[in-house]
Copies of this chain bind each other. A is one copy, B any other.
Amino acid sequence: METIVEDARVGVVSPELVVDALFACRKTAAIRAAIELDLFTHINEGKTAASLASATSASERGVRILCDYLVVHGFLTKESGQYRMTPSTRMFLDRNSPAYMGAAVEFTAAPEILDNFLRDPAAVVRNGGSSGLANVSADNPVWLKFARGMGSFTGLSAKMLAGEISGWPRPPKKVLDIAAGPGVFGIEIAKAFPTAEIVAVDWAAVLALSRQNAEKAGVAHRYQTIAGSAFDVEWGTGYDLVLLPNFLHHFDLPTCAQLLRKIIASLAEHGRIVAVDFVPNEDGVSPPFPAAFSWEMLASTPAGQAYTQSELTEMARLAGLAGVTVKSMPPTPASVILFE
């Protein structure tokens, strides 16, 4: 169906985009089923529906229909009844690949996340945000799913951020990682700066996982945690670096500025605040992922969105800062935001 997308863009009238959107949930269901059955890993060098069914303890009819659907949507190829992965599927959905992203489905298709979107999406638009606190309620268990599932989405940007900071004239010694999630941002900094001490803030259930990841990375002896809301907890002072990875987009601009003021009060001399976030262009409709991300926040939070550079500048000024420097991090859809 995807080829029709091009036609629609060059002006040919077609219902394909509409049909794709009307049925799009089926695609999420299919990829979730395939990931949960670890179908892609089992396909390896090519398998029939019968052998895949046996490998995954599933019905052959079910596997054949799912695999055919995945062929239609470009995830697999099929020849003489044999299914094979595409190069992209092999890279991102085979569990043996270092770039495996399959775990993300636990968060992106979590029942509570889908409910944010599908319960009453028109009400979200009427209301200008989620009706309740949704994802930003205290101790929301969805953040453990985020921490478990989304490390593969944020891992590369965490490495790139550590690379960026490695070029700074003053290596950070005391680092605060706010809303640490899987912990990858703080952990990459700890790996890049062998004497840096990391303090991670997040909900208690999430921090149990961040600590595990710090242990795996061999930096647990320099890794402390503080459980609670970033708006409420006392995290002390003297930070050379405060990280805000994928956090600001959950709140309205004045709330973000208020948090920045709290952070500024805890900085050491020459301390820096660095956010990682999705920054749409000023047109609000490019690049695709950052621009689409505000819809993610509209449904999932009362007042969050992806902020443009000019909005981030306004946020910085409201907090008493001079402004921001934004650097995109291709191939990731994220940007580094350096508060000045």
Give chain A's interface residues, CB within 8 Å of chain B.
Answer: 1-2, 5-6, 8-9, 11-33, 36-37, 56-66, 68-69, 71-75, 78, 86-89, 91-93, 99, 101, 104-105, 108-109, 111, 114, 117-118, 121-122, 124-129, 280, 283-286, 288-289, 291-292, 294-299, 305
Contact = CB atoms under 8 A, between A and B. Distances in A.
A26 B288 contact: no
Contact of A25 (B12, B74, B118): B118
A159 to B, nearest CB: 16
Contact of A69 (B28, B92, B283, B294): B294
Given A6-B6, A18-B89, 9 more contacts: A13-B88, A17-B75, A25-B25, A25-B109, A56-B125, A62-B125, A62-B127, A69-B294, A78-B284
B62 A129 contact: yes
B298 A65 contact: yes
A319 B36 CA distance: 39
A52 B16 CA distance: 25
Contact of A93 (B18, B36, B109, B289): B18
A192 to B, nearest CB: 25
A164 to B, nearest CB: 22
B5 A72 contact: no
Nearest to A9: B74
A6 B5 CA distance: 10
A216 to B, nearest CB: 23
Contacts of A294: 65, 68-69
Contact of A66 (B60, B63, B295): B295
Given A124-B33, A125-B33, A125-B58, A298 B28 contact: no
Nearest to A149: B22
B125 A18 contact: no
Given A27-B21, A63-B125, A69 B292 contact: yes
A122 B29 CA distance: 8
A62 B292 contact: no
A93 B21 CA distance: 12
B92 A18 contact: yes
A89 B15 CA distance: 8
A72 B30 contact: no
Contact of A30 (B61, B109, B295): B295
Contacts of A2: 2, 5-6, 9
A58 to B, nearest CB: 4
